[in-house]
Amino acid sequence: MSARIVLATHNPHKVEEFGSIVAAVRPDLEVVGYDGPEPVEDGVTFAANALIKARAAAAHTGLAALADDSGICVDVLGGAPGVFSAYWAGHRKDATANLELLLDQLADIADPHRTAHFTSTIALVVPRGPEHVVEGIWPGRLATAPSGAGGFGYDPIFIPDGQAPGAERTAGEFTAAEKNAASHRARAFIALAPLLSGL
């Protein structure tokens, strides 16, 4: 019988993505979605918000809990949207509106100045046990128009660094396996994996 760990999100895309990443290290550890009330994410950093969510999920379920707080950080915008990535166009959490607003704000910015990175901060909270926070950064730049139907959020406009010139793709054009191997969450998970192996 597999052990379970709850991921503090109602987003099925994240549950699926985390499940694939976790399975590579702990195939016996099943990632389940969170069905409890959403806590107020009033932190001003990724780490603060990740801990708020993980603590709430651990308290509600009695299971060890993971929570990811992540976003896109654009250099020319001083790191924004950052922790406000999910709400950039308002409190409706409209991913399409968020993406379109960001593209509009950068419409006159030339390619060399469109540098950005995805940040993923993952909190692990064990009931009546320790708390841990790890971080992963995925550097790149922003395209001028969306491309690709894969991924979610800002993936269709994010061009990760390290690709061959002339053959660059957005994260929205990556396969799920490619993204799971390279993304900010995958990078954060490298630091998280030893902590999970000890559960």
What positions carry a catalytic annotation? 69
C-alpha closest to that of 70 among 116, 35, 107: 116
C-alpha closest to that of 126 among 196, 38, 23, 32: 196
d(CA 68, CA 135): 9
C-alpha closest to that of 4 among 64, 52, 72, 80: 64
> 173 and 147 in contact (C-beta within 8 Å)?
yes
